[in-house]
Amino acid sequence: MRNPIGKKVVDIKPSGIRKFFDIVQETEGAISLGVGEPDFDTPWHIRDEGIYSLEKGRTFYTSNSGLKELRQEVSNYINRTQGVTYDPIKEIFITVGGSEAIDLALRAMVDEGDEVLIPQPSYVSYEPCAILADAVPVIIELKEENQFRLTAQEVLDKVTDKTKILVLPFPNNPTGAVMEKEDLEAIAKVVIEKDLYVISDEIYSELTYSGKHVSIVSLPGMKERTILINGFSKAYAMTGWRLGYACGPKEIMEQMVKIHQFAIMCAPTTSQYAAVEALKNGDDDVAMMREQYNHRRRYLLNEFKRIGLTCFEPFGAFYVFPSIKQFGMTSDEFCTRLLKEEKLAVVPGNAFGDCGEGYIRISYAYSLENLKAAMERLERFIERLK
């Protein structure tokens, strides 16, 4: 028989998280701080709208681009948070999670051999998606001394004639880093100068703890060069609903919708009805969750200081990214031993790119009680290492 598998896919290495997941699952009594989704339930009024839409029999496809009402709400939302106006008909469409939008944006925009700049550590899907789109991923290694922010110089160092796209993953998973307006202005200047496009993954935009999130689309000249990707998973605790959106220039959206229409048809209808309610009446829920995440964030940073773990202060998402370099182990060794000896699961930093080596990702999408129990275990482990 012929080999059934295509070479391009085989060559993509599986997510480092998957490997670790299997080990954790076999460990009985393990506490995990390895989850990349909120611990809150979707607020009831949002779930209720989903249920209501089912009762009313709203069980058909929506248009490829998504419910008009939802696109209008997305447009209103971006307008009130970033002061930028997107046409809900031509410049916004609804996707199956932010992750679909990442995939589509890359597939719609690159030709074979185009280079895509991907800052790491970052979410695991940019690099494989770029490869599947026949592009060449070029990694920018973010540095702790810059609080894991992207600098204009780092972009300039990697730009070539073939560079077409810069992925901008902030607020960042796994580091928790955010980009301030000044940081973005410097990046925007390079992007315009070098005639690049930006894919800005802002899925954690509602979870910032030092002032409001600034999107690069709010800077002059950037709306026409940016695909803004966001969604409902993190802000409204709606991961399982699989709903996100992309906003950008109409010519690019048209092509993205074309792929979407053939591959997906439309995002889940129930989720879309629920999401309308989220955008209309969900601000208080987001504020409540943000407040609780912030308490946990402060608690963890305080605990790290107490037990002697170095960590820069992250102001976004729900992750902290402490350094474990002082213990003379790789991230994999550290995490495996922590799991074996104390039954505490955290994710090795190198799962998010080679430059995440020497760090671990700890999620604080857990109740304070959970975090306290986990910190006891972490403290015992670190005491033994010292």
Partner 1 sequence: MSTRQEILNIIEKNSRIDVHELSVLLGAEEIVVANELKAMEEEGIICGYHTMIDWSKTDIEKVNALIEVKVTPQRGLGFDSIAERIYKYPEVTSVYLMSGGFDLMVILEGKTLQEVAGFVSNKLSTLDTVLSTATHFILKKYKDHGTILAKKYEDTREIITP
# residues contacting partner 1 (CB under 8 A) = 27
Scanning residues 95 to 154, which ones bind partner 1 (CB under 8 A)? Answer: 123-125
- Tell me which amino acid residue 275 is: A
Least separation in angstroms between CB 49 and partner 1: 21
Residue 201 phi, psi dihedral angles, 5° rounding: -90, 100
Judged by CB under 8 A, which stretch of 1-9, 23-31, 265-273, 319-327 contacts partner 1?
A: 23-31
Q: Which of 116, 253, 289, 351 binds partner 1 (CB under 8 A)?
A: 351
Would you tell me how many other CB atoms lie within 10 Å of the CB of residue 280? 15
**Distance separating alpha carbons of residues 231 and 225, to the nearest angstrom:** 20
If the CB atoms of residues 150 and 351 are measured against partner 1, the closer one turns out to be 351
Residues sharing a CB contact under 8 Å with residue 218, sequence separation 6 or more, in sequence order: 82, 83, 84
Structure tokens at 341: 């000896």
Q: Is 68 in the site for partner 1 (CB under 8 A)?
A: no
CA angle, residues 127, 364, 351, in degrees to nearest 5: 25
Choose the binding region for partner 1 from 18-26, 43-51, 136-144, 374-382 (rule: CB under 8 A).
Answer: 18-26
How far is the first Cα of the chain from the last one, in angstroms, to the nearest whole number?
56
Q: Which one of 8, 9, 25, 340 is in contact with partner 1 (CB under 8 A)?
A: 25
Tell me if residue 24 falls in helix, strand or coil. helix
Judged by CB under 8 A, which of 160, 281, 302, 310 binds partner 1? 302
Instruction: Map residue 276 onto helix, strand or coil.
Output: helix
State which residue, 173 or 218, has the beta carbon closest to partner 1.
Answer: 173
Residue with tokens 């009130």: 80
C-alpha 323/C-alpha 326 separation (Å) is: 8
For residue 127, give the 3-state DSSP assignment.
Answer: helix
Tokens of 385: 């290492």
**Binders of partner 1 among 170-229, rule CB under 8 A?**
173
Of 71 and 361, the one with the shorter C-beta distance to partner 1 is 361
3-class DSSP state of 184: helix
286 lies in the site for partner 1, by CB under 8 A: no
Asked if residue 376 binds partner 1 (CB under 8 A), the reply is no
Q: Is the peptide bond before 137 cis (omega within 30 degrees of 0)?
A: no
Query: Binding of partner 1 at residue 340 (CB under 8 A)?
Result: no
| List 94, 256, 347, 378, residue binding partner 1 (CB under 8 A) | 347
Distance of closest approach, residue 30 Cβ to partner 1, in angstroms: 7
* Chain residues in the site for partner 1 (CB under 8 A): 15, 17, 20-21, 24-25, 30, 32, 34-37, 39, 123-125, 173, 287, 291, 295, 298-299, 302, 345, 347, 351, 368
